[in-house]
Chains A and B, each alone.
Chain A
Amino acid sequence: MSALSAPPTGPARAALNKKVLAADHPTWCPGCGDFAVLASFYKVLEKLNYPQEKIVTFAGIGCSSRFPYFVNSHGGHFIHGRSLPFAAGISLGRDDLHVFAFGGDGDGFSIGGNHLVHTARKNPRMTYVIMDNSVYGLTKKQTSPTSPLGFKSKTDPWGAFDQPINPMRTLINSGATFVARSHATQVNHMVEMMYRAAQHDGFSVVEILSECVEFYEGAFDAANPRKGGAFQTIEEKKHDGTPEDAKRHDPTDELAAFQLALEPWPGKFGVYYENKTRPTKNALEQKLIAATREKTKGASDLELLQKTFARMR
């Protein structure tokens, strides 16, 4: 990259707010759940107040993957299903940045399913927000990996019969160190989940049920009180010794997290699992670098290379 000679001409840094953070106007359909996710994400960034140039938003392909165009940050729009390894590369190469990846259920659980598992296993420091609408929206109503049994789509007009993915179970099983679930109609809850995810030191994932009003209307009504459903949140253990605390969920308990993930639809919302002890890949790679450089006694790059060639003589 070449240096540019002109001095910075931008204004002095102000606190982040929606006005600063808004970029292109979203291309989503009116009523799409993703609008609320975007608005909540602005609030999360306001709260985090990172230097604006250190925020990176990236995405794969799909309706929700248009997200980075709508956030005024460094970022981009990669290919279908591969935003996670790309974002991991950003995070590992530039540990000073705050990396957020966005996508939908098709991007994350179908074409990118392998990457989800392995990114979780490797635990790079980044946050992944999945806007799950249980349908392919951009391509106009095909069955998605989270479409429930019986869902009628253009590819399953008689009703889907392939077993859907259970996102929470998949994520916990893969080794993600922060796994949470939210609902696009619950702004405060979304903000809290994304905020906690961003602050987690490791690979943090928030799955947000975000309705596609065009192709799967009412998909998540069962968890929407305004549509007669019940939004049941996870009560986390307070470790206060009270009898009611015994019934509360301990997010560090992997088995309890699995049990929560197996609850019948629509299930609960909140932090399913959180592991604060497993080191990030960022930290492990830096540790390797430090240990290796200690062995070479901090030799310069040129010295190292010259030694290597001397050994080839």
Chain B
Amino acid sequence: MQELSAIREQSFYYHRVDGDRPGTQREPSNFMVSLNSPSNNPEGGPAKAAPNRTLNDVVIRLAGNSQDGIQAVGGFLARLAGRSAQEVMTYMTIPSTISGGPSIFQVRMGTGDILSAGDRADVLVAFYQHSYESHRAALRPGGVLLYDSDHVTPNPDDKEVTAVGVPMTSATVEAVGGSSKEKGKNIYVLGLLARMFDLNVPKLTQLIKERFGGKNEDIVRNALLAFDAGYAYPAENLHHILYKLDQPAPAPNARPQVTTDGNTALTYGLITAGVRYGAGYPITPWSSIMETLRTELPKYGGIFVQCEDEIAAVSTALGFSYGGNLAITGSSGPGLSLKAEALGWAVMAEIPLVVVNVQRGGPSTGLPTSVEQSDLMQAVYGSHGDAPRIVLAPKTVEDCFYTAIEAAKLAREYSTPVIILTDQALATRIEAFDEPDLPKLMIEAKPDLAPRPASFKPYPLDGLTRHAPPGAVMGSGKYPTVSGLEHDELGHPTANPALHQKMTAKRREKIKAAAKAFAPLEVFGDQSGDVLLVGWGCTYGPIHEAVGRLQSAGLKVGHAHIRHIHPLDQDLEKIFARFKHIRVIEINDEGLYGQGQLATLLRAKFCNPAIGSITKTDGLTYRVSEIVERVAQDLGLTNIKTGARKFSVLAEQSRA
């Protein structure tokens, strides 16, 4: 695809070093309300402040160009939070151009449940005039604008925020020396932020050493020089904007936290699930999964093939699966379309396969680096004929890991293709989560080459298909053929009308049966009442936070996040019956019939007129306030900004 270098821009690079390191411990996840959470301050006035006040959480937006390394700074902050047992969530936009272009990285870190990257920022770091102009509005009143005084002239009449100019470019050049030009000003800014929020300097310098170590020694030295210079920026210039982030108490028995993005979590979920073979073709934002699999699988004795096209990729993956090793292929929307014919074959021939679709804006090349949830119908129905398959959608970065394991398990158990519908937002954002219990989860899977008894049938009408992979001796002396033609129980092609009906039913019923083993769907918030917010995929955090704000208006509000898109969770009908209104929140278009894609599916399945749809297609994740306002408007609330917090957590002190 044409956006190949956008892939490089996009993939988050962590330098990896060998050897274990003691991890910080984390408190058990009892739900804490953060300052950014609305229920803490429903009146919407400035929070009460004390000098050098400790903050529960803070939202920092870095705005610059894609080559400025702002993603690296955001990554350092995210990993620092993870190592400090803090919660963290990030959000980034990347231009789809080959190099350059405006880019942002937003990180929200702190204690308590951090569920979204934050609607608006408390701190905006602006590298350029265009960064300032484009993102000033994203800063909450009372927040801090930290700008590069070498490049930015802020509006002098703007008294709503505290503007602090720092000569980031020239100070970096001065600190590092002329040869490096302004490279390293991102690390200079990291030093500034470390000072501003009293961050753990030894941990940050350790992260810098890990990130740049192994390269030229000069690079590590320059990075540390830049960091120190930023940190040492004269305190008298910053004294009015110094804070401290709350540190959770370490809990000795908790699992250490890991910090990573959704694509990486998904990739290692597949490896944990014993998937050792795969094939793919580059496309943003799927590529980082195939890059990691290509370099990781050989360590596990496996193979990942970069194919000539999407069709070859799904075909090669199916060849691996046919050989008895469950394989993975993946892509983004356009690539899934190309794989659709082979997917139909996999349904007919009943071959297991995991297919990842990292959704982006469509149709066609669309918005290759933006988020959208518009491939749901394609994932559920995209192929020819009646081709039921399983479709799962992870809701968080952590869930990308567990969904991969569940997908592999279902593919093997039901000998079927399983599609994982993730999206650009989940793929690229960074979250901290408890390190998985790997010894417990690790699956070792080898082809079952045991001889098959004479009674073996590849396609039994009264049971699940369990293929005999090549290498298995057939007791009957008759070797099986897997077929895309309709077939009888032994795999012989047949056009017998009654048999086609029976086999179609068999393939349908086995997918329906899979739903019986799904873990029950949990409803967050009120278990019955006025409105149930339903979402899927990356909208989990914002919807979750919206619940609290809508409750502050006196409504009884619940949230159900659907991970099993196809087949749907069995208990949905009962859950729906407990609410007066159901609003399905999606990042896709309302279509010709007025509902988003999941809402359409839910209305078709449950015939429930209470189901309404909230959609958008601006290529961005939902902000909490967006959800609250749309739902409030929909339900006729007078205050559609219910529960909104107007001022930044930094407000009171910065005004003092």
Contacts and interface: CB of A to CB of B under 8 A. Distances in A.
A224 interface: no
A98 B279 CA distance: 21
Given A77-B484, A289-B298, A311 B14 contact: yes
Interface string A105-146: 000000000110110000000000000000000000000000
B447 A23 contact: no
B492 A24 contact: yes
A305 B480 contact: no
A1 B301 contact: no
A170 interface: no
A79 B322 contact: no
B28 interface: no
A82 B340 CA distance: 13
B519 interface: no
Interface string A255-276: 0000000000000000000000
A79 B474 contact: no
Among B312, B438, B478, max chain A CB count under 10 A is at: B312
Given A10-B477, A53-B472, A97 B17 contact: no
A302 B271 CA distance: 10
B256 A89 contact: no
B233 interface: no
Given A53-B472, A53-B474, A79 B484 contact: yes
Contact of A3 (B279, B296, B345, B450): B450
Contact of A115 (B308, B444, B451): B308
Interface residues of A, number: 65
Given A82-B311, A82-B312, A76 B479 contact: no
Interface in B430-446: 435-436, 438-439, 442, 444
Contact of B16 (A1, A77, A87, A311): A311
A313 B482 contact: no
A85 B315 contact: yes
Given A53-B472, A309-B268, A313-B23, A77 B485 contact: yes
B312 A1 contact: no
B481 A68 contact: yes
A90 B438 contact: no
A75 B300 CA distance: 27
B438 A8 contact: no
B315 A94 contact: no
Interface in A284-307: 285, 288-289, 292-293, 296, 299, 301-302, 304-307
A35 to B, nearest CB: 18
A312 B14 contact: yes
B329 to A, nearest CB: 10
B256 A313 contact: yes
Given A10-B451, A89-B317, A115-B308, A309 B474 contact: no
Nearest to B467: A1
A79 B345 contact: yes
Contacts of A302: 438-439, 442
B438 A85 contact: no
Contacts of B317: 89
A53 B323 CA distance: 12
B319 A7 contact: no
B309 interface: yes
B620 interface: no
B277 interface: yes
Contacts of B444: 301
Contacts of B603: none
Given A89-B327, A313-B256, A78 B479 contact: no
A94 B323 contact: yes
A308 interface: yes
B83 interface: yes
Given A79-B341, A311-B17, A312-B259, A7 B320 contact: no
A10 B474 contact: yes
B16 to A, nearest CB: 5
Interface in A43-85: 52-56, 68-69, 72-79, 82, 84-85
Interface string B157-186: 000000000000000000000000000000
A91 B323 CA distance: 8
Interface in B450-493: 450-456, 466-485, 492-493
A95 to B, nearest CB: 10
Given A7-B453, A53-B479, A1 B471 contact: no
Contacts of B472: 53, 74
B421 to A, nearest CB: 23
A93 B319 contact: yes
A302 B442 CA distance: 7
A94 B307 contact: no
Interface residues of B, number: 91
A85 B479 contact: no
A69 B633 CA distance: 62
Contact of A23 (B307, B313, B478): B478
Contacts of A54: 470-471
B477 A285 contact: no
B315 A78 contact: yes
B307 A85 contact: yes
Interface in A14-40: 20, 23-24
A4 B456 contact: yes
B451 A92 contact: no
B63 to A, nearest CB: 27
Interface in B376-394: none
B21 A310 contact: yes
A285 B305 CA distance: 9
A133 B363 CA distance: 40
Nearest to B342: A79
B598 interface: no
A93 B301 contact: no
Interface string B61-101: 00000000000000000000011000000000000000000
A307 B316 contact: no
A133 B81 CA distance: 67
Contacts of B19: 310
Contacts of B442: 301-302, 305
B264 to A, nearest CB: 8
B303 interface: yes
A96 B471 contact: yes
Contact of A9 (B279, B324, B453): B453
Contacts of B485: 77
A74 B316 contact: no
A277 interface: no
A313 B257 contact: yes
A243 interface: no
Contacts of A53: 470-474, 479
Contact of B438 (A93, A118, A305): A305
A6 B325 CA distance: 22
Given A4-B452, A9-B453, A90 B319 contact: yes
Contact of B466 (A1, A79, A84): A1
B308 to A, nearest CB: 4
A2 interface: yes
Interface string A147-178: 00000000000000000000000000000000
22 contacts: A2-B466, A4-B453, A7-B453, A8-B451, A10-B477, A75-B470, A76-B322, A76-B349, A76-B481, A78-B484, A86-B322, A89-B305, A91-B319, A94-B325, A94-B469, A94-B471, A115-B315, A296-B299, A299-B299, A309-B268, A309-B438, A312-B435
Interface of A: 1-4, 6-11, 20, 23-24, 52-56, 68-69, 72-79, 82, 84-94, 96-97, 114-115, 117-118, 285, 288-289, 292-293, 296, 299, 301-302, 304-313
A-B pairs, 10 with minimum CB distance: A89-B319, A8-B451, A1-B448, A6-B453, A74-B470, A118-B308, A76-B482, A85-B312, A85-B315, A89-B316
Given A82-B311, A308-B296, 17 more contacts: A4-B456, A8-B451, A8-B452, A53-B471, A56-B470, A69-B492, A74-B472, A77-B485, A85-B313, A85-B315, A85-B319, A93-B325, A94-B324, A115-B315, A296-B299, A309-B436, A313-B24
